[in-house]
Homo-oligomer: A and B are copies of this chain.
Amino acid sequence: MINGNNIIACNYTEIEGQAFTVADPSTGEKLSGEFYEADTLIIDKTLNAATAAFKVYKNTMPATKAKFLRAIANEIAALGDVLINRAVAESGLPVGRIIGEMGRTTGQLRMFADMVEEGSWVDAVIDTAQLDRVPIPRSDIRRMLTAIGPVVVFGASNFPLAFSVAGGDTASALAAGCPVIVKVHPAHPGTSALVGAAISKAAKETGMPDGVFSLLFDSGYTVGAALVKHEQTKAVAFTGSYKGGMALIKLAQERKSLIPVFTEMGSINPVVLLPGILDAQPEVLVAKYAGSITLGAGQFCTNPGLILAIRSAGLDRFITALGGAIELVPSATMLTPGIWKNYGTLAEETLAENGIELIAKSKLINTEKVNQSVATVATVSAKNFIANKKFSEEIFGPWSLLVVADDIAELEQVIASLDGQLTTTVMAQKEELPQYTSVLNALTEISGRVILNGVPTGVEVCAAMQHGGPFPSTSDSRFTSVGTGAIYRFVRPVAWQDWDDSLLPPELQSNNPLNIWRQVNNNWTKE
């Protein structure tokens, strides 16, 4: 039986709020477990505990923080089938996908543990004193990154593990030295409760201050709004829709104090098919893209929702083959009835616009289950695309729109008309690329990641990953929410001027006891 009480500072609260339940999206049947909505009193208690814990946790030694992060990974892994089955039941995602996501989640935690333990991520910069400088001596100044304070994390519906309670946001905030308060996504409260218990257990095992973690339920928007507006909240991380992200931004703008609010709001991830590859191997492109469009029922922030190409015989072959492939993509359960309904409505509305033409819809719809996605691809001319903003809106689900340009100039106009994107992709023959540098530059200018001959789905969790692009794909293109770089959202530099070693953090002490890479008098060194 899953405990659906709120977790304040790693401990369950008494049942206080209103109860809600959750249904299996593939059947509509109620799943076990009741979850209790948090209230204002709980929120105050939570933030007080987080603020108190922050004073201790931010100064926790790297090795100890790493132990905590690894303990979370271990506790989550130990949940095994209980967690996997619950996540499958709540999300409608296939078992294989959830197993993969569990690996990604524990892998992320261990990756941050390694990074914290290695230690160089704090960007230590040391400029030593120059006492003989004229006209005035130079002070000794040493700077490093320090934790920003309690972070509110919103669980995302489409990654019930990897972008939820112990996902990338939580892992990076904890790694930074920030206590975390998770606002549970109401689509997977059971999964969240299980993971929340795992984190709490890990915190206790490794001697963390209790306030380092809390987990709050709400079936609506009240708790999330109160958390964002709470003056003790020092940063917010969110992955979801444009509407949801902008609502949080607006709430944060009403605060007395400004705080960083990182919202990843998805995008349509344009893919440019260059003429050479379309001519040479249109069917290979289809094999890649039919899969990417419909992966996870298209419920990825990096789903390729827009394909751009120039009219040609190769493109005609691509269209025919893509239509054939999409018709044979079996339906899949979408995450929630709301997402399923939105997808259907938006797809229908868009298909009813002038100038758009359906290429194909999936014919393999499972009628024994509910909330089934219908993969859909359609096409529109570049002129019509540019003229109608509706065509560039994200349709969250297995949807892609092929925009056909008359020539390269028109294709560039299409790119210039686009808003900021998480990713852009180019499919090309190696030889033809040098002719299209202006296209490549234009794609780079609007996105955070530029892919060659691959698919935007499947975001690698690594140090070089950038998952964050110009607005509106994210609220601040200078940060990433995937990969170890995600930690930089939750830290701020502090400079110490003229302090003795004994009072400095170890990262800044002259003899470099943690053996980290530092910038000393403008040289990179481990000395």
Residues on A facing B (Cβ under 8 Å): 55, 59, 100, 118, 120, 125-127, 135-136, 138-139, 141-143, 146, 148, 249, 253, 257-260, 419-420, 430, 433-434, 440-441, 444-445, 447-454, 458, 460, 462-466, 468, 470-472, 475-478, 480, 485, 488, 491-500, 502-503, 517, 519, 522, 524
User: Which one of B55, B476, B480 contacts A441 once the chains associate, using CB atoms below 8 Å?
Assistant: B55
Which residues of chain B have C-beta atoms less than 8 A from A449's C-beta?
494-497
Complex: how many Å from CA A55 to CA B415? 14
Complex: how many Å from CA A47 to CA B188? 47
Complex: how many Å from CA A491 to CA B466? 13
For A126, A449, A475, A495, the residue with the greatest tally of chain B CB atoms inside 10 Å of its CB is A495
Complex: how many Å from CA A191 to CA B478? 33
Q: Given A127-B460, A503-B433, A475–B139 Cβ distance below 8 Å?
A: no
Other 14 A-B pairs with CB < 8 A, given A146-B444, A463-B519, A464-B495: A59-B441, A100-B135, A126-B464, A127-B460, A138-B462, A139-B454, A141-B460, A143-B464, A148-B478, A257-B419, A258-B475, A259-B471, A452-B499, A454-B498
Which residues of chain B have C-beta atoms less than 8 A from A497's C-beta?
449-452, 454
Complex: how many Å from CA A59 to CA B491? 29
Complex: how many Å from CA A453 to CA B496? 11
Q: Given A460-B138, A476-B260, A498–B466 Cβ distance below 8 Å?
A: no
Complex: how many Å from CA A59 to CA B141? 33
User: Which one of B463, B464, B493 contacts A478 once the chains associate, using CB atoms below 8 Å?
Assistant: B493
Complex: how many Å from CA A500 to CA B524? 28
Complex: how many Å from CA A524 to CA B515? 13
Complex: how many Å from CA A472 to CA B255? 12
Q: Given A494-B444, A498-B453, A463–B260 Cβ distance below 8 Å?
A: no
Which residues of chain B have C-beta atoms less than 8 A from A55's C-beta?
441, 445
Contact A448 B141 (CB under 8 A): no
Complex: how many Å from CA A496 to CA B449? 6
| Nearest residue, chain B, Cβ from A426 | B499
Q: Given A136-B458, A450-B499, A454-B139, A466–B494 Cβ distance below 8 Å?
A: yes
Q: Given A142-B464, A458-B136, A463-B125, A452–B495 Cβ distance below 8 Å?
A: no
Complex: how many Å from CA A462 to CA B143? 11
Complex: how many Å from CA A495 to CA B469? 10
Contact A430 B500 (CB under 8 A): yes
Which residues of chain B have C-beta atoms less than 8 A from A477's C-beta?
148, 492
Query: What are 14 contact pairs spanning A and B, CB under 8 A?
Result: A118-B522, A125-B463, A127-B465, A138-B462, A141-B460, A141-B462, A146-B444, A258-B476, A433-B503, A434-B503, A450-B494, A452-B496, A452-B499, A524-B524
| Nearest residue, chain B, Cβ from A523 | B517
Q: How far is the CB of A346 from chain B (nearest CB, A)?
A: 21
For A447, A460, A472, the residue with the greatest tally of chain B CB atoms inside 10 Å of its CB is A460
Q: Given A139-B460, A524-B120, A466–B454 Cβ distance below 8 Å?
A: no
Complex: how many Å from CA A249 to CA B142? 30
Q: How far is the CB of A237 from chain B (nearest CB, A)?
A: 14
Contact A143 B258 (CB under 8 A): no
Q: Given A462-B141, A464-B125, A464-B127, A448–B478 Cβ distance below 8 Å?
A: no
Which residues of chain B have C-beta atoms less than 8 A from A100's C-beta?
135
Complex: how many Å from CA A500 to CA B450? 12
| Nearest residue, chain B, Cβ from A261 | B258
Which residues of chain B have C-beta atoms less than 8 A from A517's C-beta?
524
Which residues of chain B have C-beta atoms less than 8 A from A434's C-beta?
502-503
Complex: how many Å from CA A259 to CA B477? 9
User: Which one of B125, B249, B433, B495 contacts A450 once the chains associate, using CB atoms below 8 Å?
Assistant: B495
Complex: how many Å from CA A499 to CA B491? 31
| Nearest residue, chain B, Cβ from A498 | B452
| Nearest residue, chain B, Cβ from A115 | B522
Q: How far is the CB of A54 from chain B (nearest CB, A)?
A: 8
